[in-house]
Each structure stands twice: as structure tokens, then as C-alpha cells.
Structure 1
Amino acid sequence: MQTIFGKNGTETPEPVQATVRGCIPDWLEGTLIRNGPGLFSVGDAQYNHWFDGLSLIHSFTFKNGEVSYRSKFLESNTYKRNIRADRIVVSEFGTMVYPDPCKNIFSRFFTHLSNVIPDFTDNNLVNIIQYGKDYYAASEVNYINEINPSTLETIGRTNYRNYISLNLATAHPHYDEEGNTYNMGTAIMGLGKPKYVIFKVPHNASDPEQKKPALRKVQQVCSIPFRSLLFPSYYHSFGMTENYIIFVEQPFKLDMVNLATAYFRGANWGNCLKFDENETTLFHLVNRHTGKRVSTLFYGDALVTFHHINAYEEQDHVVFDLITYKDSNLYNMFYLKNMTQDTSKLIESNKGFSPPVCTRFVLPLNISTESERKVNLVTLKNTSATAVIQGDGSVYCTPDTIFQGLELPRINYNFNTKKYRYVYGSRVEWSPHPNKIAKVDVEKRTHVEWFQENCYPSEPVFVPSPGATEEDDGVILSSVISPDPSVSPFMLVLNARTLEELARAEIPATIHLDLHGYFIPASETH
């Protein structure tokens, strides 16, 4: 593992041709862009956490049964400042950086006071977001960096706060059938009380000729006040149905006092996140057409979640599936001192690892003051999820376990907001290093896997066949790396029905382990 995790990646700025073994479907044309940490040291300085590494974006372009590859570092302000200084000069999630010791304490104190809620790094290493016709590298801060999807060149930095009052935002938006983008952010400082904000960017808002970004036409859908002013919930994604936004306000929280004093305590931002196992999880429903929140208070036991899978409405219920954990220890596993251990030590040190669970919650919508107390109001068949109305009118929800050991979930996005059957993901058992791809049937609760010894596949991305009507009619794409020098990195193409290998495109370049990706059809890259 030491040859893969935490090792600096390298750029391949000009496209190189892959060697294809097998047969890539002729209809598969477009570019898969993937994002993730790729540079873990600058000069003699090293990052502490895998989520700190500087963004390295890479793309796989499919055309006429062939694949070309290229990669480039995101030229964020953070990247340019670090490279210019030949050391790490911008703090990240798990690495706090201090200024030149020659600067006096008063200068540092007043600089910090002006940034109690800091202007975070713009090292956007998590995902690729589309707003209108604009593409951005994104993480969870107020800055995003626009990129050219064809060349991977960095066009420039955009600040959400120029268009809407946000300090944080997710890198996992949703897109409706028209192409409108929905996303969530947190407004900690600004006008009014701190709140979570749901916003929409219209699909036709871009003006490339005038170089006007789609974000200029952003619309606030709704805001939700914090449950606790000093402890906003951390969230990585959210759910969406045909009519509702689902926000899970979990007891994995950002401690604002600790954040404000982190610099002086010598703590990093990651240490400002705390999980309260004794607090409940709230489930907020917002009508995405009217912006009105459902008044019923839905809640459940404490949990931690990063990724939603899918959500839909059925017979006056909102059904939503997500990956949950019993605690927040997953983040600690990604400190590089842990990730670079040999396999046996990693297993030994993570015996208490809380595995990811595909979890289903069901929220009844037809609740009234007349609803019977202490009775399960979920009437859907084929689920053990419950929703029991309490004496005060709140509804206590317990989940249905669909599958254990899956992360980085992806679906056929044509079935987003609709009742669905299949989820694809990285098979996770005893460590954060998935070495299998799984397809889970959420109806039958069965699964199939792809596996190759000593290989580590990325998050699987589903691409539907042209004109497909069946949910699993398409292919799965995943970039695969191996510590074995005799195994070239490759783009894997699987039959989405069976997970049988159709082809692999061996890349004559170094490929890094990444996080998330976005497939852009050829018709949209011109």
C-alpha cells in the first residue's frame, strides 16, 4: 500500500493513447473526468491527511472504441501559492499551517481575528460539478474552480459568496431532468441567523459568449435554521425526490468555538468535527417547488452519513437510501500515517472500524393530528423501516438495512428521484481501501462483485446505453490501480447487468487514487 497511498502523482498534460484489451461498445463516447488528492508534499513539507492532498484532475475520453488519457493539477490559488513558496503555506482539513515565525504574535492575532470563520483553501479535490454549461472542480468550501473539460486547464476561481451568502457548500449536487442543478450550503456569517441553504442554478443560465457564469442566476429554494447555533451539522450530500429535498441533520457537528480557536490551540479543522452519540438525527423535508418545509418533526437515532444513494416517493411515503456509520472514525482512518501502514498493521489498528451500511428510511407524508400514536405508520411492503408518531407529534424513525460494506454509491442517474433497484459501489470491508466493485439489488438484497487480486478500483460510474429503458442497461466505468509494477493502471469497462469485464484500457502513465467523477457525453463537450 505504501506505493499507492500518499505518493505524489504526476501530470500527463497531453493526451496519451491507451491500449485496449477487449471491446469497448461503439456507442460509448464522451469524457469521464475524475478528481482527487494527488500531491501530498511540497518541498520538504508534507500533508497529514489524505483529504489534504492538492487536487489532480484526470480524464478518460472514449471515442470509436478507443480511450485517451490526460491529467493536470488544478491550478488553484492554493496550488500556486504552495508551488511558488516550495512548501505548504495554506492550511487544509487535517494540516494546520502557521506563518513565518519571524512575524510577531500581534500580527498573527489580528490576522486570525479577521478570519474567525476562515477563508478556506480553494483546493477543490472532491468532485466535478456542472452549473449550466460551466464545469467546476469542487470541495466543501465557498470557492470552486472552473475548468475546461476538454483540456483540464483551470479557467479561474469563483466565490459562491459573490452570488449567494454561503461559507460552505457540498460537492454532491443533484440535477433534474431539465438539467437544473440543486445544491446545499451553510451560511454561518452574513445577514440573519446561521442556516442551511438549498439553492438552484437554472440549466440555461450560462452565457459563454459574454463569459457570464450560470451562478449569477442562482435561486435560493429554502433555508433551514441550525438546531444549535454553535454546532452546525456536517453534511457531505443530500437527497432529492420528484417533489422534496431531504436533508439529514446528523449529530456529527462542527464545533464553532473550537474552529474559531483552532489556530491558537494548534488543532486542525478536522479536529473541530465532533460526533455526539447521545443526540438524535433530524430528517428535514423541503418541497423543492415551493420552498416550504414539511412541519412534521422526523427523527432517528444518532448516525453518521456522507453519501446518499437515491430517494423517491411511493404511496404517500418518502423513501431515501444512504450509507450510514455508527460513529465518525472513518475520517481518522484517512490520516496518512494510517493509510501508509502495511496491510496487517492496518487491519490490526482498525478492528473497531464501523463498516458502512446501505440504510433505508421511510417517512410517511399523510400524518395529521388524528394519526394514531405509538403505531408504525409505514404501510409499504418489503421494508422493515418504521415511523412511529410520539405523544408530542414527532415521528421516531428506524431504518431498514439493505446491505453492509458498500461506499461511493452510484446509480443509473436516469433513475434518480425514481423508484430504483440497483446501486453500484466500492466494496468496503475492513479498511478504507476498496478492492472490489459491487452491484447490489436493493429489492432482492443480493449482490455480485468484480475483483482482481492486488487491484484497487475507483468509484464506479454508470453510463446508460443509448435509448435504454431497463435500469441496468449500460456500462460501469472505473479506473484501477495496483501496487504491482507489472500491472499497468487501466480504465475498466464492465457490463452493468452482470459486472462481467467488457474491456480494459491500459494507460501508459501514472494514475492516482481519486474520489469522485462525472461523465460528460461527447455531445456536451463541444
Structure 2
Amino acid sequence: MRFGHLFDSSALLHRFAIHDGRATYQCRFLQSNTYKRNQAERRIVFSEFGTSAVPDPCHTIFDRVAAIFNPGESLSDNAMISVYPFGDEMYAFTEGPVIHRIDPVTLDTLERKNLSKSLALVNHTSHPHVMPNGDVFNVGMAVVKGRIQHVVVKFPFTEKGDMFERAHVVGTMKPRWPLHPAYMHTFGVTENYFVIVEQPLSVSLMGVVRNQLANKPLAASLRWYSQYETHIVLISRKTGKEVTRYRTDTLFYLHIINAFEQDGRLVVDLCAYNDAKVIDAMYIQAIESMQSNADYADWFRGRPKRLDITLGSPRLTKFKPKLLADLGCETPRIHYDIYNGKPYRFFYAISSDVDVENPGLIIKVDTLTGEIKTWCDGNCYPSEPIFLPRPGAKAEDDGVLLSALVRGAEDEHSVALLILDASSLKELARVSFRTPSAAPKCLHGWFLPGRP
């Protein structure tokens, strides 16, 4: 049996460690309930984002109805998208309400937290924001007074005690369409606002119910409404209420690069697509047939764009996006610790263009001058580049980029850690490891200093 979509494969944690001039590599499957059940029963037990489970003949229609009201336990808890710190603890994330605490040294799965039990979350984004003081914010959907709403949740940092026990809702907004809330993978945080990009890719709540009963995957509940524009919604960080919303062109996005306020303006940079076809492009069947699909490369034809919004403009004023760079960029990262939610200049990404001469690019974009720098090596495919500042650095790009490399063609049993100079994209170091099986490409990562 195999999974049908890139968002569905079993979560595999990777760890590169550098200590005393030597490097090690290890990986381990996340011991989620889904993974353990799949292994025990030798079949796909839970439906994933794009994969239907094998029906269990012991489950009646009443079991499936009951499961609708318990998403944290009835849905897959396969947290294979990202990893984030909460205080000194690390957690693996997906868009379901369950996250897993992992040991950052051994990669053991230590604890399973179901946020739907404490915060009534139906889902949340895979990309929370970690603030300089250690607080963590995330956006999700929750049941508020019997209705689905988008909520912003704060996990206050504490050196003693549990950040999750202190978690509470600090912002709410009603979906543009009550029965079709927007699909969200990321959001922005500025000095005064939580920035929600409400795109016309929605989750049909009735579709979720029908598909749960029919044992269909979540992707079958998504609806793309090309006739509607995208909204940018501002939620006050002081009051927690929606302040206003603006309009822009119809677009689809997964990742916001950064958002900030400056001189009475709100700037939102994101990796934008004309439509949501990129999700279809990540089905395994689509990947296997890409050479015979003349439209496949266009499905991935995203571009980094900037929304420059004049704050105080009338509600639903429309602002056109501006092109930041004419090449595909995905999994963007910035000098996060200093510049998240603040005016910045540089971001780093990997290429999303699949039909260029070398699709395995690492990209640096200067948002001030438009200058673009790239790194590539033949038959190498990098993961999200993670920026690490040089100790005592003064310049925004004074540091290094870390990226995990895999290889294609006849060299799939290889994984490497690449280190680039973030200013020039010159390769500084690389350490490679042979693996007993084909090494999968990583998605998102996090750097932790001071680990043995």
C-alpha cells in the first residue's frame, strides 16, 4: 500500500548535529498513533489529506458519526509538516489538532497533546510564530458558541509550568463564508496586528461530514472559488477583534514570507499562485505522470509577491500585488529572530519551478533592490534554507544558511547537510552520509544551538 499525496507520508524526523568539528546524521519515524496503527495492522488505517484509508469492517456508520465530534482522535495525527519549539521543548506539527513532543537529541516521541480537548481546536496551521520573549501564537479553527470561527491562540512562555495549560484565545474572526472557512497554512504577526490572508480555497464543512462518513480524505472537502478575491484581515493584538479587511487579486498561497508595518503601511510578502493547482501537483500520480502533462509546470508557477497596503484605507479597498522576483520561491525563511514582523530586506527559499535547467536552486532575494542570488549543484535537491546569524552580526544577512540535500537519479541513498554563506551563497561546507534506503527530501526544520 502507498500514500497518495506528499502531505500524507509517515512523518520522518531528521537530525544533523555538529559537535567538536564532527557531524552526525540520524532519522526516526514519529511514533504517532497513526504510524503505530498502520504498522500493527499493515494497512493505512486513517484517511490522510489525500489518501483514503482501508475501510474497517468493524466500524459502523454510527462510529463514523461519533468520530466527527472528536477530530483529535478520529483523524490522522501524522505530524509530518514542521517542527517548532515551545520553550525548551520541541514539537512536531501538522494541521490537525494533535502535536507530538519529541526528544531533540534521540528523536524519541515523548508525548502526544490533543489541543481540541483544551482549546476546542478543530485544526491549526503548521507554522506557529515563536516570539522573541518565547510566547507562541497560532491560528486555527474552533467551535465558538456553536459556530466555527478562526481563532488566534497564545501559548505564554513560562520557565516553570506548562505553556499549554496557560494557552488561551486572544483573537477571533468570523469566516467570510460560515460553512466554507478558508484553508490556512500560515499567517503573519506585526507590531499591532495578526494578519490573516483569507484565500478562496475553503474547507466545506458539509463536505467534511460527508467525506468522514464515506471514508474520503480531507482534500475532497476543499473548494476553490476562482470568482472571489483574496481578503487580508487584520485582527488587533490589543482587543482580539477584527479591525478591518482589504482585498487583493484571487490567489492561493501556502507560506507568508514576512509581514510588517512601516510609515502607516502594512506590507505582506507571500509566495503566491494563480490558483490551488499546486496541491493537485503534489499527488503521487500527478508526479509520476508529469512528463506527459503539458500543464504540470504551470501548476507550480508560483511567484513571491508583495502587498503594500495603506493602513486606514476604507474597508475592502483593493490593493494589487507586486512582483518581488520573477522565479518560483517556496518554503521561504528570513532572519527570523530579529526581523519577523518587522521591516526586513532579505529572504531565502528553494525553487518551485520544475521545468528550469536546474530545479534544485537555493535562492536569495533582496526585496529592496530586487537582486537575486542562487546556489545549485547538479542532481542536488535542497530543503528549506534555515538562516543562522553569525555571533555578533550587524548586517541582516551576516550568517549562514543550513539546508538538507538529497540526490536523484542513481544516487538516492545519500543525504547531506549544506552550509552556505548567507551573504554570497558561496558554499562553505558540506557533509554527506550514505543511507541504507532512499533518503526522502525534508520539508521544514529548526536550528537548536548548544545540543551535544
Aligned to 1:236: 185
- 1:131 matched to which residue of 2? 86
Output the amino acid matched with 2:257: I
Distance 1:191 1:335 in 2: 37
* Deviation at residue 354 of structure 1 after TM alignment: 5.0
In the other structure, the counterpart of 1:114 is 66
Matched residue of 1:52: which SS?
coil
Equivalent pairs counted in the alignment come to 443
CA offsets per residue over residues 250-275 of structure 1, 9 Å max, x none?
11001111211114556421121111
Within 2, Cα distance between the matches of 1:251 and 1:349?
22
From 424, 430, 448, the equivalent of 1:504 is 430
Counterpart selection for 2:203 from 245, 254, 259: 254
- Residue 176 of structure 1 corresponds to 131
- Which residue matches 2:339? 415
**Kindly tell me: are residues 278 and 354 of structure 1, through their superposed partners in 2, closer, same or farther at Cα, counting changes over 3 Å?**
farther
Q: Report the CA distance between 1:114 and its aligned residue.
A: 1.2
Give the match for residue 480 of structure 1. 405
The question of 1:345 aligning with 2:297 is answered: no
| Partners of 2:137 and 2:279 in 1: CA distance | 26
Say what the alpha-carbon RMSD is for the aligned residues: 2.0
Q: Classify 1:332/1:256 alpha carbon distance in 2 versus 1 (closer, same or farther; 3 Å).
A: same
Pair 351,438 (structure 1): closer, same or farther in 2 beyond 3 Å = closer
Pair 226,313 (structure 1): closer, same or farther in 2 beyond 3 Å:
same
* Contact preservation (8 Å) 1:132, 1:201: no
- How far is the alpha carbon of 1:419 from its aligned partner? 1.0
- State the Cα deviation string for residues 457-504 of structure 1 (Å, max 9, x = none): 111111111121211000011111112445842111000001010010
Percent identical among aligned pairs is: 33
What does residue 521 of structure 1 align with? 449
Q: Does residue 327 of the first structure (1) align with residue 279 of the second (2)?
A: no
The match for 1:146 is 101
Question: C-alpha separation between the residues in 2 aligned to 1:320 and 1:256?
Answer: 29
> What TM-score, normalized to structure 1?
0.80
Give 1:193's match in structure 2, choosing from 135, 142, 147: 147
Q: 1:485 to 1:354 in 2, by over 3 A?
A: closer
On the 8 A contact 1:327/1:354 being kept in 2, the answer is no
Q: SS of the residue aligned with 1:217?
A: coil
Aligned equivalents of 2:197, 2:178: Cα separation in 1? 17
- For structure 1, the 5+ residue unaligned runs are 1-44, 208-212, 368-388
Which position in structure 1 is the counterpart of 2:41? 85
Could you give the per-residue CA deviations for residues 408-453 of structure 1, whole angstroms, max 9, x where no partner exists? 1011112111111111000121369941101011111120111111
- 2:353 counterpart of 1:429: yes
Report the Cα distance in structure 1 between the residues aligned to 2:270 and 2:107, rounded to whole angstroms: 31
Query: For the residues of structure 2 that align with 1:86 and 1:161, how far apart are their CA atoms?
Result: 28
SS at match of 1:332: helix
Task: Tell me if 1:64 matches 2:20.
Answer: yes
Q: Evaluate the alpha carbon distance shift between residue 345 and residue 144 of structure 1 in structure 2; reply closer, same or farther with a 3 A threshold.
A: same
Q: CA deviation at 1:349?
A: 5.0
Is the 8 Å Cα contact of residues 481 and 490 (structure 1) preserved in structure 2? yes
Distance 1:57 1:469 in 2: 33
Q: Provide the C-alpha distance between the structure 2 equivalents of 1:428 and 1:352, rounded to a whole number of angstroms.
A: 10
1:241·1:312 contact (CA, 8 Å) conserved in 2? yes
Query: What is aligned with 1:363?
Result: 309
Cα 1:152–1:138 change in 2 (3 A) is: same
Contact 1:129/1:171 (8 A) holds in 2: no
Q: Which amino acid aligns with 2:48?
A: E
The corresponding residue for 1:312 is 260
Q: Which amino acid letter does the alignment assign opposite residue 398 of structure 1?
A: K
* CA drift at 1:244: 1.4
Q: Distance in 2 between matches of 1:182 and 1:265?
A: 34
In the TM superposition, what whole-angstrom CA distance separates every residue of 1:216-241 from its partner, at most 9, and x where no partner exists? 11121111111111101000000111
Give TM-score scaled by structure 2 length.
0.93
Q: Is the 8 A contact 2:53 2:215 kept in 1?
A: no
